[in-house]
Every structure is written in C-alpha cells, then in structure tokens.
A and B are shown apart, each in its own frame.
Chain A
Amino acid sequence: MNRYFLYLVLLNMLINVIIFVPKILIEYRYDGAVMGVLIAIPIGIALNYLFSTTLTKFPQQGLPEIISLLKHHWFGVVHLVGIQLVWFTAGLITLISFIDILTRFINPEMPKLLLLTIFLAALFLIIQMPTDRVMYLLEIILFLNTPLIAFIIFKAFSNEYLSWDSMLEVGTHIWAWPSLKAIAAATYCFSGYTNLIIFNRVIKGKLKLWNFFIITVLGVFNLFTTFFIPIGFHGSDGAQELLYPWITTADSLRLVYSPIERVIFLFLMFYMSISLMSISIHWHVALELLKGTFRGKVNMKKNWIVLSFFGVFSVIGVIYLNALLLNKITVYWLIGRLGFELLVVCIFFFWARRRAA
C-alpha cells in the first residue's frame, strides 16, 4: 500500500500554499530563496528516505506502539508530548490561516468564530475515526480534488500573461547566500512523511525506491510552481506585496468558457477540503500520540477533554492572531519544525539501528 505514503507527502505539498510558504519564499527571492529551495530538495528527500526506511522496520506500527517497547516510560512520554505539540500547532496554523483566507475572499461578513464552528465540527468527526478510515477519506478527497487543482496549475502555466522573464530574473539570484527561513519553508513541502509516525499503521509492505523518485519529481515541480508562478503573474517586485500570493494568482486566472469564470472560487472550494484534510491528518496524529501517552484505555471523557482543549486553543488562536502576526509566527515555527524534524529523524534512526544491532 505504498500509495498511502505518497498521499501523505502530496497533501503537504498541496497545503503549503495555505501555510505561508510561497509568501516566505517570495519575500527572500533576492536574498537566498532560490538557493534555499535547491538545498531544501536534497534535505527533504534525504529525511524522507531515512525516516520511512527506518519505520519499515516496524511494520504496521505507530509511534505509540513502538515507544511502548521502550524500557523508560517517562522518556516516551516526553518524546510523544513534544511531537504532538508540533503536530497540533501545524494543524492550528493551517486552520487559523485558512479561516482568515475564507473571511477575506469568500465570506467577508461572516464572523470568524462561526466559520470555526463548522471546521471544528468536521475536524472532531474526522480525527476521532480510526487511522485507516482517515486514510480512506484522504484518498477520496485527493481523488476528487487533485485533478482539478492540476487543471488550475495547467491553466496557470499555459496563461499568456505568465511572464517567464520575471521568473528568470529571480532565477539569476541563485548565488545569493541561502537563507535559513527559505530552507525551512521549502522543506515543509517534503515533510508529509512525518505523519507516518501514526499512519505507518496502515502502510503494508516495504516502500520501494520509485516512491522517492516520484516524491523528488513532484517536490521539484511543486516548489517551482509555488515559488515562481506568483512571480510570473505579478512580476518579481509585485509579488512581494501580496499576503497570499497563490490565492491572488488564482484570482488572476480566468476560465473563459466555464460558468464559473473566476478560478479563485474553484481554487478555494478545492482547498477547503484539502486544508480540512491536512488539519485533520495533523490533529489525528496529535490525538493518537496523546492517547499513546495515557497509559491504559482512553475513555470518552478523556477524549473529549483533549478535544475541548483543541477547540479552546483554536478559538483563542482565531481571536488573537491576525494574518500578519500569524505569518511572523509561522516563519519561526517553520524553522523550529525543521530542527525538531531533524532531531526526531536522527534520534529515531540511531535508536532503531542500535536496537537492530
């Protein structure tokens, strides 16, 4: 079932539009973003490869099951709590930022908290499902949306107003010293594999090499699209002005013969499901890890306490974080995440090797 692995990676590649990755890359386009992207690709692939091959030593086991093999329970708890915080915040950032996008572009008159309620309703339904069911849902949603998103990307590439000169101009800054922020942002596209710590439960069989080949091709294409298409549309200087470069880019597209003329609506409708799925994958991981830290059986009461914490944090986040603040936080979050990811992968890799030896 190697396709499940690809879905997880693909989901993160699609969702980077929401989580400020294009904005960060474009901000540093003259100051090392190009080189940063180029460096991020091998880092991302290497982490993918290391982590997933290590995990195949524990077939159909999630991290809680693996940790339970450890002698020191407290170590496992610290480990799990740390990771689940990162996952929860990943989902939270996507959630807050997408709600901001929705109020900006689709429902400007609707209170954000009202929008949050429907998000939370859907999330609470999805993240409590068993892991394999979440995966099935992800598969269905990707099946419904990815072809249409690919179509939009195709329309973007074939648009006559796409200025390849602007892209080339940015491309000439390739030798600028790579910026850490750009690297952190660009590696986010590859970090879908980390969800394997729970979703390894549903992955049967070994991951073959062509999986990583596909990821490489997709990743390169995805980073190029994320980074350069907005520049091509809005010019190398103009792109900087935008808070959500990709959504504005989608708004610059027009389907001449379609009853829905403005691509932005299609784009946002697809991204509603994609981002819902991304948040639920992250939160599902967080929830399952939390369940792993509790010893023994998790009852309904504990479950709802955790869920209400999720809810309370997202309400606070939606109330107090505006887009600009969130953007600033996200930059540092992305860097922290990269470091954390490196740490987790390395620890896990060496621990698994020592255990195997």
Chain B
Amino acid sequence: MPSNKVQIIKESLRNKILPSEDVVYKELHTKEKYIEILYIKTVSDGMVIKDNLIIPFFEIANPDQFLDYLQSLPTIKMFEKEDGALDELIRGDAILFYQDHIFLLDSKVDRNNSVLDTTVETTIQGPQSGFSESLPTNIGLIRQRYPQNTLEVESTTVGTISKTKVMIIHDRKVADIQTLHKIKQFLSSIDIEMFQTGEQLLDIIKKSNRALIPVMLVTERPDRVVVNIAAGKIILLVSGSPFAVVLPTVMKDFMSSMEDIYQTYWVAKFLLVLRYIGFMTSLVLPGLYVAVTSYNPELFRVQLALNIAGSRTSVPYPSFIEVLLMLFMMEMLTEASIRLPKAIGPTATTVGGLILGQAATEAGLVSNIMIIITSSVAISNFVVPINAFSFTLRIMKYFVLVLGTIFGLVGVVFGFLLLVAYMVKLDSFGQPFLTLIQSKPSKKL
C-alpha cells in the first residue's frame, strides 16, 4: 500500500473514532523502526497487546524481521476495508500502522467467560454447569462435548445498532440443509435495533411479532445442545447471552427434560407421562370447574356434586368470578416470587399461599375446592420443564376458561381442541410443531 494512502486511512479512522476517554493512540519508537497503535482500552485486552506486540517490538531489532513476525502472528488480519476495520476497532481489535502496512490485531477482551451453574433447567443428576456469557467459551464447551470434524460453525450479525455476533452451529452430517437455509434467511431478514439474547427471536419469528407459542427452544445446558446437534438440529449462540437457541423445535422438545436420558427407561417414561398429565390438568382444570359447577353439576356422581356445591354455598358470586379471582391471586404470587430477593421469597409464598388461601375460604370468598384447584393448577403448570412453554401454558388456560365460561362443557373440550389444532398448524422452520409420531429429521445431504 502506498504510504500516502496509509496516511489518509489513518487520518480518516482517527477522525471517525471520536475523542473518547478510552481511545488510545500510541506511537512506539526504537532506533530502527516505529509503529502506531490505535485501540479502545475498555474493550481490548492490554495483556494481549503487551505480550503480542510491545514486548516483541522491543526484542526484535530488525524492522523486516518484525514485519515477518507480525505477518505470521495468527491473531493478526490484514486491513481490508475502512468500515470493517472501524467495526473491529469498536469490538476491541487494535489497529496497527507499521511501515506501509495496516494490520488488525485481535485483542478483544473476553469478559464473563466463567461457566455458570444451571438455574433454569435444573436436574438432579447429570451435568450441572451451563453456558457462560462469552461466545468463544460457549463454542469451546460445545466442541469439547462434541468432538466431531463435521461440526460447522458459521457467524453472522444481527441488530442494526447492537451488531450482535450470532454463531450458527450444526453437524454437517445430520443437519437438514433446507432447514439451515431457512434459518439463515430468517436471521438475515431480522429487522431489530438491539439484539441481546436468543429469546428475542421467539417473537420475531412471527410476522406480526406477536407469538403465543414458542417455536424455538432456548436452553442454558450444553448437554442439551449437544444432544440436539447430534439429532440434526441447528444451534444459535448469541454473543453475551448464556442461552443457546435450538432450531427447529417441536412440542416434544418442550416436554422433555435432560433428566430423561439420565434416568432408567421406565422412570423416564413415567416422568414424561406425568408432564403431559400436568400439562392437561393445568390447561383444562379451571375451565372444567366453571363448566361443571355452573353448567353440568350432574356430570359427577351425586356425592361429589353435592360436596362441590356444599363448599360453594357461602360463595356469593358465580364460579367464573371465583376462578378468575383465585387465578389472579396465584399469578400475582408467581410473579412476586420471581422478582423478590431470595431471602424474602419463602415468606411471600407462605403469606400468600397458606394464609391468604386459608383466610379466603374462611371469609367465604372462595370455596375450599377452588383452593385445591388453584394450587394444583399452579403446581402442575411448572411441571413443564422448559420455562418459555410453561409461561405459554399459563396464558392458554385462560383461553379454555373463557370458552368454558361461555359454552360450558362444550367450551372446555373445544378450547382444548382449538389449542391442539393451533399447535398442529404451527411449524418451526418447516417441521410440524405437534404430531403424534414425530418423524426423525430427514438425513439427506
């Protein structure tokens, strides 16, 4: 590169990067040679610059030898475009002006690279550590668990302002090419300013940006990610987020916990059935209560029907208000216990759950049976192992409740069927979201 052009680039780069406190522009001199370094000290690793640049600079006396050294350094890239260089500079690269060359030294500081414990998807047995918040560390974790030469890692950026780095990871041998293509297309079509974490994709996937049911799985467990790669799924890792996105995702994935493969066969099957029962209970029970008490009390055998009616004698309003009231209290309690500091959490649940429930029945505001229903709905809601889906379930039960209130028993059955039909209609990157027998992803290359 001619030296006057280097001068121009240098000037323009220095002009574009505004005079901030943390921008460092340094000239190093020895007798034979001199070098100019431009970097931002808050995002660059000073140690890397010192070890790879400053110490060798003073140790290698010969200018040509130092140039050879720079060119053979694996973390160094040649300067290509001014925009690209500026981007890299902001991300933590150091720009070197040496003789008539411009180099980019990768000196990005890697903060938050400690591996976190799993907190969202906990298991009793099996690996206990999750991802970290650093992208290279996360890829390292995956490579360690999946030592296959067919593992492919590609990168792209999402977000007009945040320019977040997103890694697309898949196994070339098993992943479906068409799905991969669709995912890449989807990523490039995203129009968003700040992209912070994979969970944001859950909404963006819908054209209206208003999704009810998640069609991608967000997980914090490297073991789950690796199992999914082996099953032909495609993984997205987002820089700065300890969560990976698994695509395409179907209902079965949301209902499975990593524990299933760490347990014996029948235990795992039992747990799976339990989850589906929990899902149904949480979905249908509030609506069913309204339908049975207000429309068809003759559904149950006489003793039970009388029992329910008896416990409702002191309740001064129709059953759907009772249910709404209690569900509302329960949602409040759930929300509060998420936000509360860990130290106060148990107190809130005790006061809310035990005392309030007890008092509400004694005051005759809700029936005893309603308390049982509310708590079983709340508990079985969280049997669903994936958080995003369990939150969806929290909303879906109101749909069934509303239909049950308007149409009675018919409404409950139809509410359930409508939700099932809606889920069958959904698809996640070409794969149907809900089918009875989930076919394996196609193996063609």
Contacts and interface: CB of A to CB of B under 8 A. Distances in A.
Interface of A: 102, 106-107, 110, 114-115, 118-119, 121-122, 125-126, 129, 132-133, 136-137, 139-141, 143, 258-262, 265, 269, 272-273, 276
A83 B408 CA distance: 36
Given A106-B409, A136-B424, A140-B424, A261 B301 contact: yes
Nearest to B407: A118
A50 to B, nearest CB: 29
B262 interface: no
Given A118-B410, A259-B301, A125 B418 contact: yes
Given A269-B409, A273-B413, A137 B424 contact: yes
A259 to B, nearest CB: 6
In the A-B complex, the 6 residue pairs with the smallest Cβ-Cβ separation, listed nearest first, are: A261-B301, A136-B435, A137-B424, A272-B413, A139-B436, A265-B299
Contacts of A115: 407, 410
7 contacts: A107-B408, A118-B414, A126-B421, A129-B425, A137-B420, A140-B424, A140-B434
Contacts of A260: 299-301
A121 B434 CA distance: 20
A265 B409 contact: yes
B304 interface: yes
Interface in B390-408: 403, 406-408
B317 interface: no
Interface of B is mostly: helix
Contacts of B407: 107, 110, 114-115, 118
B421 A137 contact: yes
B127 interface: no
Contacts of B418: 121-122, 125
A3 to B, nearest CB: 9
Contacts of B300: 259-261
Contact of A107 (B298, B409, B422, B437): B409
A112 to B, nearest CB: 12
Given A107-B410, A133-B432, A269-B409, A262 B299 contact: yes
Q: Which of A102, A107, A132, A260 has the most chain B CB within a 10 Å cutoff?
A: A107
Contacts of A140: 420, 424, 434-436
B417 interface: yes
Given A119-B414, A122-B418, A272-B410, 14 more contacts: A106-B296, A107-B295, A110-B407, A118-B411, A122-B414, A125-B422, A136-B432, A137-B424, A260-B300, A262-B299, A265-B296, A272-B414, A273-B413, A276-B414
A143 B425 CA distance: 18
Interface string B14-37: 000000000000000000000000
A273 B409 contact: no
B38 to A, nearest CB: 56
A115 B410 CA distance: 8
Contact of B421 (A122, A259, A261, A262): A122
Contact of B408 (A110, A125, A143, A262): A110
A122 B301 contact: no
Nearest to B409: A106
A106 B417 contact: no
Contacts of A139: 435-437
Nearest to B417: A273
A1 to B, nearest CB: 10
A265 B292 CA distance: 11
A125 B436 contact: no
B434 A136 contact: yes
A114 B405 CA distance: 13
B436 A106 contact: no
A236 B148 CA distance: 73
B288 to A, nearest CB: 10
Interface-centre pick from B296, B408, B417 (highest chain A CB count, 10 A): B417
B425 A125 contact: yes
B306 to A, nearest CB: 13
A177 B256 CA distance: 60
Contacts of B435: 136, 139-140
A265 B300 CA distance: 9
B433 to A, nearest CB: 10
Nearest to A115: B410
Nearest to A129: B425
A262 B297 CA distance: 12
Given A107-B408, A118-B407, A262-B299, A136 B414 contact: no
Given A122-B418, A273-B417, A276-B417, A133 B410 contact: no
Nearest to B418: A122
B298 A262 contact: yes
* B299, B304, B411, B422: most-surrounded residue (chain A CB, <10 A): B299
B436 A136 contact: yes
Contacts of A273: 413, 417
Most buried by B among A118, A125, A259: A118
Contacts of B411: 118
Contacts of B299: 260, 262, 265
A65 B85 CA distance: 56
Contacts of B421: 122, 125-126, 129, 137
A133 B424 contact: yes
Contacts of B408: 106-107, 110
